[in-house]
Structure 1
Amino acid sequence: MSPILIVIFLAAAAARIASVVVSKRHERQLRKQGAVEYGALNSALLALAHTVFYFAGLGEGWIRQAQFDAVSMTGLAIFVAAMLMLVWIVGLLGDIWTVKIMIAPNHPISRHMLFRVIRHPNYFLNILPELIGYALIFHAYLTLAIGLPVYLVILAIRIVQEEKAMRDLFRGTGAA
């Protein structure tokens, strides 16, 4: 496997670890404000699926002896765009962004255009393109063909849980 792919894996893993560190900091602040977590098992399954996807993609790339080529470059462009979306979304949501469903009393709702135009932009503009781009970087087509549908099932459950939590919290306020 091309050494640059190892560097990309380490950078991708570091970016995801950094996002978890930010999430944990926000989670602590939210819990101090009385936040409640919804869908804890689903959050754990998403974290596991994300981790397995990363290592499966790396492993498949290793087995295929993937080289950094036009497919990898396309995947890297998609991956970088997805990470930039994550940075933007975290910036927009600020201290309420976490990798979990955490809702505090007096939880603010983002009125930014991005959230009005695209429901769940973190999932559709960050996570899904991230996984697709990542698989392309490593030519991990089996990981993509098997891992993405599994991830989508878990993510669909997550979206339903998040929608229900927001609906229950904001019912009657006109906010959701």
Structure 2
Amino acid sequence: MMWPSVALLAFVTLQRLGELVLARRNTAALLARGAREVAPEHYPAMVALHAGCIIGLWLLAPGRSVGLFWFLVFMGLQALRLWVLATLKERWTTRIIILPGAPLVTSGPYRFLRHPNYAIVVGEIAALPLAFGLPLYALVFSLLNAFVLLIRMRAENTALESAMILK
């Protein structure tokens, strides 16, 4: 039966495309308010990684059964993703954007983790391929994601620390 795998892939694809639209709108609004982007050089690699992961799943996963456990893990992560989006509101973006004078967000999931969205993405990149029974795929993209996240988190932490010093 092909439709469950295709439905899940379509959901993820449409979700990511919607997030890109939201991120672009939020980024433009933040920049118009005087924000600045930090460390944009890693962004193309991050986009390529995420796009490559989804494209690869479209090539490998249609027609595969969807494992209930990993599907539920993935959907639980989607609820957490919505919590992050609702907490950050117009400050959520896919780029590292620093708005001078804006306080650090410390509510919602940010009470528990400094970078909850990154923790969610780590889980998603593993859980989605595992839902399709693709453990090697999950491992490869998890390792690639770890490399990109290491670069991104260093840049973001440095930017946040300098923004706090400049306040």
Please say whether Structure 1 and Structure 2 have the same fold, judged by a TM-score greater than 0.5: yes
Alignment of 1:110-125 (within 5 A): 110-112=105-107, 114-124=109-119
Query: Hey, what's the Cα distance between the residues in 1 that align with 2:37 and 2:153?
Result: 14
Query: Hey, what's the Cα distance between the residues in 1 that align with 2:91 and 2:121?
Result: 18
Alignment of 1:27-176 (within 5 A): 27-62=27-62, 66-68=64-66, 72-112=67-107, 114-124=109-119, 126-171=120-165, 173=167
Cα deviation, residue 108, structure 1: 2.6
Cα deviation, residue 172, structure 1: 5.8
Aligned AA for 1:22?
L
Say whether the 8 Å CA contact 1:77–1:133 is kept in structure 2.
Answer: no
Q: Could you tell me which residue of structure 1 aligns to residue 17 of structure 2?
A: 17
What count of residue pairs does the alignment treat as equivalent? 167
Which runs of no fewer than 5 residues in structure 1 stay unpaired? Answer: none
- 2:139 is paired with a residue whose SS is helix
Aligned AA for 2:153?
I
Cα deviation, residue 15, structure 1: 0.8
Query: Hey, what's the Cα distance between the residues in 1 that align with 2:68 and 2:47?
Result: 26
Q: Which consecutive aligned stretches of 4+ in structure 1 deviate over 3 angstroms post-superposition? A: none
RMSD of the TM alignment (CA)? Answer: 1.6
Which moves more between the two structures, 5-14 or 131-140? 131-140
Say whether the 8 Å CA contact 1:79–1:131 is kept in structure 2.
Answer: no
Work out the percentage of aligned pairs sharing the same amino acid. 20
